[in-house]
Amino acid sequence: MRGITSLKCLLLVVACVSFSALSQASAQQFDDRKTTDVGLIRLGVTNYGVIGNGFRFFPQVPSCEYPKGSQIEHLFNGGLWVGAEQGGITKVTTGAIVQTGNSTGNPNGAGYEFTDAASRGLIQRSSLAESPFFNPNAVSHQDFIADFTDSILFRPGATGPIPEHNPLRIAVRAEHYAWNYEFANFFVILNYVIVNRSNDSLVLPHVGMFENSIVRNTRLVAPQGTAFFNKAAGGYLDSLQATYKFDLAGEPSETQSYFSIKFLGAECKGRLYRPGLVPGFRANFQAWAFATDPFVPAPPADDFDRFNRMRTHLFDRPDSVQLRQALRSQAGNRLELLSVGPFPTLKPNDTIAIAFAVVVARNASTLADYIDDKPEARATLLRNLDLAQRAFNGNDRNGNGILEPDEDINGDGRIRRFLLPSPPNAPRYRVVPEDRKVTIYWDKSAETSIDPLSGARDFEGYRIYRSNPGDDRNPNGLALALRRVAQFDQAGNGVGFDNGFDAIRLPTPIAFEGDPTQYFYKYEFNNLLNGWQYAFNVTAFDSGNGAIGLESLESAQTTNFTTAIPGKTPTERKEDAIGVYPNPFYVRAAWSGGSPREQKIYFTNLPPECEITIFTVAGDVIDRFTHRARTYAGGDNRWNDLYGKQSERRAFSGGEAAWNIFSQSDQALSTGLYVVAVKNLRTGEVKTARFAVVR
């Protein structure tokens, strides 16, 4: 399943901060750290507005590794910045800052001005049903959620107040989203909701992401010292509002990757803010030297200087052409800031919801093109940035903040952000078990599915799955035992098997009593074992989009299956004798379960409604129960409780009933011959059969 939300929805979950209680927060909760690991990017995130970890835990814990396991690092650290004028005073709260005098990334040092607001650390959740962190409210395959504030002056665990900190008194909810899809495993979205919790307005507010990025292969060189940090070059992609860095002078043949931070969009007072949509609103890129650099200025000295950097663009300078070239062709230890604004004045309790993305990519061309920073080398980076932007846009596909009629896929009038491509809808299907046979019927609903990201109808075909007899006793259950047995897809388009649907299409659609669905397709499984449980599923998949690197996506395989037990169908024909199997029944045989309590015996050729009585040959009643084909759910036996309820959807033939081979007084049957009598509750006719139990 995929996580879908809106920035507007997050406004409802930002809690008020009780600042008096926060002084009790533990140092561990203040400095809670996690690393994304569902995709190929392993990014460190914290509960106080910092991304990356300053290599404080090298080499055990990555800071921003890509690809996963490569030890190619891309980030020392970064953090959220918020600046504004408040009460006539210029203030900037910095989530992270790196400069001479605090080069270790120590979160107790100057410039690290956010603190966990809820004293709960990072909360993890996942949209993956198989994850231990599964939560239906999750946006991505791996969400990390934190609440923090700049209102605390004395951070837990520190020996003194946060240096030079003049708080805006804002509260922030940060949600970090990562996916494991092939087309989305190279970015992490940083989604922030910023609330003015002061009693004063914030004038000319700006929000930015600071970064100290570096692309180096730490298998070859440890991340320490000036010589490690002064090998990167990069720049700014104006039309995409994205920074980028690459390895110019380190080990480029051993890295050949890019790091980027991109502004995705913001919402404030019911309006989408992006450059070009709102007059006067712009994105600003700044760079400065860690110590000294011939091309960029020194670090900002105070909040007034920081706020001025947030409001101005480095390339507004007259020598911008030469400066851009210098940053791309000359390595250096430079720090960057990508900020946006101004937003309208934020009164107390007003909110800005804003999203950035951390994006990585591999060189798309030759090593020479990578070092020369040619556009062809950045092709994959541009594609990845575009996909991150489209994930933010969601069903607002043109990114204008207005939901057009053709974008309102759900018909609810809502813009849904952080929406990734999705597979076609799962087809509605029906499983019909019969004697040694199961037939699956399904409808055409998947064929009209519209991908929420592309807006295209990209249905390609169907896949049919089945488990094997005995898989229900596997410790992993039936969900992971499903095996693909057939695939049918569009003919003549060069995708998949090209085998079309003629082999499964019904001449005319059919319906079943009490079921309004029209079924257009049919697939039969023959030569199955009666009395054994199988799992079945029909999924739909799309064609993917090779032009933008989107893999083919498939509807739920492991969460939408149906179990069925083949067997005789109900009968009232006089010539159909009552059957019993296995007969004789050997108690130590494990055909139905691993212990006597899990064993069962089947009575077959039953009428639709009947009373079943088991006797000794002397005429003593051992057990009696009623069977109704329409409502039969596996019988009252331990096997059914342990193995038969692995799916909410179950199908039975209706003409068979399982019995647990225990008497009404809960006594196991001894070796001997027994009689079963089946009374048709509609006609009163009684049929009998004999069976043996062997111990």
Identify any residues that bridge with 310 across adjacent strands, giving them in sequence order: none
What's the pLDDT tens digit per position in 371-428?
999 999 999 999 999 999 999 998 888 889 888 887 777 778 888 899 888 888 889 9
For residue 124, pLDDT over 60 is answered with yes
The residue whose two tokens read 């009696």 is: 624
Same domain, 381 and 472: no
Same domain, 517 and 641: no
Q: What is the pTM of this model?
A: 0.70
At 606, which CATH number? 2.60.40.3080
Bridging pattern class, strands 585-586 and 686-694: parallel
| Number of domains the chain contains | 3
For residue 598, pLDDT over 80 is answered with yes
Same domain, 245 and 164: yes
In a domain, 85, yes or no: yes
By residue range, what is the domain housing residue 592? 579-694
For residue 619, pLDDT over 90 is answered with yes
36 contacts 23 by C-beta, under 8 angstroms:
no
What's the pLDDT tens digit per position in 532-553?
999 999 999 998 877 666 778 8
What's the pLDDT tens digit per position in 280-291?
999 999 999 998
pLDDT category, 17, cuts 50, 70, 90?
Answer: very low
In a domain, 403, yes or no: no
What is the SS3 assignment for 562?
strand
> Which residue, 515, 534, 565, sits at the end of a domain?
565
For residue 341, pLDDT over 80 is answered with yes
pLDDT category, 56, cuts 50, 70, 90?
Answer: confident
What is the SS3 assignment for 429?
strand
> Which residue, 393, 415, 448, sits at the end of a domain?
393
Same domain, 627 and 548: no
422 contacts 553 by C-beta, under 8 angstroms:
yes
In a domain, 251, yes or no: yes
Q: What is the arrangement of strands in the sheet containing 657-659, beginning at the earlier edge strand? A: 579-581, 601-604, 657-659
pLDDT category, 31, cuts 50, 70, 90?
Answer: confident
* Exposed/middle/buried for residue 387 (C-beta within 10 Å: 0-12, 13-18, 19+): buried
pLDDT, greater one: 14 or 605: 605
pLDDT (0 to 100) of residue 548:
60
Lowest mean pLDDT among 119-128, 132-141, 181-190, 399-408: 399-408
In a domain, 295, yes or no: yes
Bridging pattern class, strands 232-237 and 64-65: unpaired
In a domain, 483, yes or no: yes
In a domain, 84, yes or no: yes
Same domain, 115 and 151: yes
542 contacts 451 by C-beta, under 8 angstroms:
yes
For residue 460, pLDDT over 80 is answered with yes
- How far from each other are the two terminal CA atoms of the chain, in whole angstroms? 49
Same domain, 158 and 303: yes
pLDDT category, 456, cuts 50, 70, 90?
Answer: confident
> Residues 462-477: what's their mean pLDDT?
86
Conformation bin of residue 169: beta by default, left when phi > 0, alpha when psi is -120 to 50: left
Show the CA angle centred on residue 377, arms to residues 373 and 379, nearest 5°.
Answer: 125
DSSP class of 619: -
**191/266 Cα distance (integer angstroms):** 9
Same domain, 90 and 223: yes
Residue type, 669: L
Percentage, residues of the chain above pLDDT 70? 91
Same domain, 324 and 188: yes
In a domain, 494, yes or no: yes
Same domain, 93 and 138: yes
Same domain, 355 and 496: no
Phi then psi for residue 364, to 5 deg, are -95, 0
| Cβ partners under 8 Å of residue 445, min gap 6 | 425, 427, 428
Same domain, 306 and 351: yes
The residue whose two tokens read 């033939």 is: 653
In a domain, 572, yes or no: no
Buried b (16+ CB within 10 A) or exposed e, 363-378: bbbeeebbbebeeebb
**594/205 Cα distance (integer angstroms):** 68
Same domain, 593 and 554: no
What is the SS3 assignment for 120?
coil
98 contacts 290 by C-beta, under 8 angstroms:
yes
What is the largest distance, in Å, between two alpha-carbon atoms of the chain?
109
Compute how many other C-beta atoms are within 10 angstroms of the C-beta atom of residue 113: 32
